[in-house]
A and B are shown apart, each in its own frame.
Chain A
Amino acid sequence: MGVTILTPYPLQNKSGAEAIEELSKRLLALGATQAGQFLVDGDIFEHSFKKIKIHVMHNSEYPASVFSILDNGQKQIPLITDLIFDLLMLKVNPIYSSKKMIKIESKGPRFELGDFLVKLGSVTMSQNQNFKGILIEVDYRPCLVPAFCWDLIKEFLQGLLGQQAPTAIPGYFTNTLPSNNPNQHYHRFNDTYQPIDTVQQYLEHFNNYRKQSQAPTI
């Protein structure tokens, strides 16, 4: 486990499969080896009448865990559990029900390049697998603090994506968080990175995709 940066990749008139193939070729040319596939999925359980959402997510990098994030509009509470938590979510069924239409997942090939782990995910939504876009995950495994290695990962992304590489730190790390001391600004950039941070980055991007697809219907 190291610091992971998740970034969307603009398609520029290419199909998803083409873009993934192009990036895969580029990675292999850089000397990467393909190491299997990965899958991150996100499900939403909604309270039958209150405005409470529970995001239940899985990450194939941590196959025995379930990451849940409860969102009541004001704050988010993360929870990491065993896989059996999914069974419990079935038990709460009449009160919380799953929204199958906005179930979303990102899957694709997984590459190892030195100490880096690169995953090229194509994002699809609902049961009919609507293609939504491409998310690239770069994991620098030896480092545990985002602030220490952000510049290094940025350079790596520039080498891989060229013009499309992000230049700013992802908002997830720089957003100020409530802290005990109101005078002190606190954000995650200097924290030790945890697996839930990866999942929360995915959740932010998943929610953006959900909003995009819901917009026309409203």
Chain B
Amino acid sequence: MENQINSAINAIKLLRSSVSNVFETTLSAQNNSIQDESSFLLELQDQLSTVDVNFKSIESTINALNVPSGPFTLGNTAVLNHEADPDRQGVYTDLVNSYNWYEKTHLYSALANTMLSQNSLKRSFYTSSNKRRRPTVPVNPAQLVDHMINSINTNNMTIKVYRPFGTPTSAFLHVNLSRVMKAAIILRGLVIELVTVKGFNEPLDSVDDHWIESRYAVFRKIQDHAHCAMLHFYSPTFAELATRSFITWLASYSNIFSEPCKRCQRFLLNNLPPTYRDFRSLEPLHEECRH
């Protein structure tokens, strides 16, 4: 065992010296540029083949080594590997980080490659007829949205603006209504794209939560009504007014559990409170009572 390790260490020494020979030769060749090029190339080739031979001998000696069964009892020499100089160890963390980064890049690019090769890339989703139906929203700067939010002043309601993907044209509004419910409004410019309604104790922080329905029937129903309201108030020419009216309408849900239906005077119908709010009067009504 010890002999094998000795010969392996010797082989490493040989390799190191032959490699440094190569570097020395190239360095000297650079210094005296007058030297004959072909003789230099021959010398280099010769030395590189020595490196190759030495490398192969290391490989074979290493293959001959046995895997140690347990920790070595090396006595005092064990202390040698306790290199504790912080300056020399600082590299280690960077090394691990860059290794991980590289591994991740590799993985992601491989995944992206398969995805892209499966789906031929289309530059645009819109056909010409779609374009006519769906006018492009004028690009409103972020200040407009902020200004609108600041000017909305409703009791019991707090609105926070997020711009998760750093785009200035779209914004997420997180609306907290009293301690009753939460809603997220996704805006493109000043036009509402999507509304999500959830219970006050349900998560709405991560971006994915905006596409998960509430676990409570009452908020799922309110979300349906909110989608209707979104279309009802939709107006590309007066986008700010439309969004503002929608938020006022949404704020009327703060009494969802405490206000009976205006028509039947009862709280519950099919085990749901009055989930509908009239678009003009904001009166609470059961879905079935509104006609």
Instruction: Name A's B-contacting residues (CB within 8 A).
Output: 1, 31, 113-116, 140-145, 147-149, 151-152, 155-156, 159, 192
Q: Could you say which of A141, A152, A159 contacts B273, with CB atoms under 8 Å apart?
A: A152
CA distance A151 to B257 in the complex (A): 8
Known: A149-B257, A151-B258, A152-B273. A142 touches B268 (CB 8 A): no
With contacts A151-B267, A155-B266, A155-B267 known, is A142 near B218, CB below 8 A? yes
Structural contact, A148 and B180, CB atoms closer than 8 A: yes
Q: In the complex, what distance in Å separates the CA atom of A192 from the CA atom of B200?
A: 11
Closest to A150 in B: B258
Among candidates A113, A116, A152, residue contacting B257 with C-beta atoms closer than 8 Å: A152
Whether a CB of chain A sits under 8 angstroms from the CB of B199 is: yes
How many residues of B are in contact with the other chain, CB < 8 A? 19
CA–CA, A116 and B217, complex, Å: 10
Q: B201 at interface (Cβ–Cβ under 8 A)?
A: yes
- Residues of B within 8 Å of A192, CB to CB, are 179
B219 within 8 A of A: yes
Q: Does B216 contact A (CB under 8 A)?
A: yes
Are B268 and A159 within 8 A (Cβ)?
yes
In the complex the two chains form, what is the Cα distance from A155 to B273 in whole Å? 11
Q: Which of A1, A115, A156 has the most CB of B within 10 A?
A: A115
B33 CB-CB contact with A under 8 Å: no
Kindly list chain A residues whose C-beta atoms are within 8 Å of the C-beta of B260.
151
> Taking the nearest CB of chain B, how far is it from the CB of A167, in angstroms?
15
Contact pattern, B 49-80, Cβ under 8 Å of A = 1, otherwise 0: 00000000000000000000000000000000
Provide the bound-state CA to CA distance between A159 and B271, in Å.
10
Extra pairs beyond A144-B200, A148-B179 (18, CB < 8 Å): A1-B201, A113-B271, A115-B218, A115-B271, A143-B257, A144-B179, A144-B199, A145-B180, A148-B180, A149-B257, A149-B258, A152-B257, A152-B258, A152-B267, A152-B268, A155-B268, A156-B267, A192-B179
A150: shortest Cβ distance to chain B, in Å? 8
Residues in A with CB closer than 8 Å to B200 are 144
CB distance from A155 to the nearest CB of B (A): 5
**Chain A CB within 8 A of B272 CB:** yes
The reply to whether the CB of B270 lies closer than 8 angstroms to some CB of chain A is yes
Chain A residue at minimum C-beta to C-beta distance from B219? A142
30 contacts between A and B (CB under 8 A): A1-B201, A114-B217, A114-B270, A114-B272, A115-B216, A115-B217, A115-B218, A115-B271, A115-B272, A116-B271, A140-B257, A141-B199, A142-B199, A142-B216, A142-B218, A143-B257, A144-B179, A144-B200, A147-B258, A148-B258, A149-B258, A151-B267, A152-B257, A152-B267, A152-B273, A155-B266, A155-B267, A156-B268, A159-B268, A192-B179
Question: CA–CA, A155 to B268, complex, Å?
Answer: 7
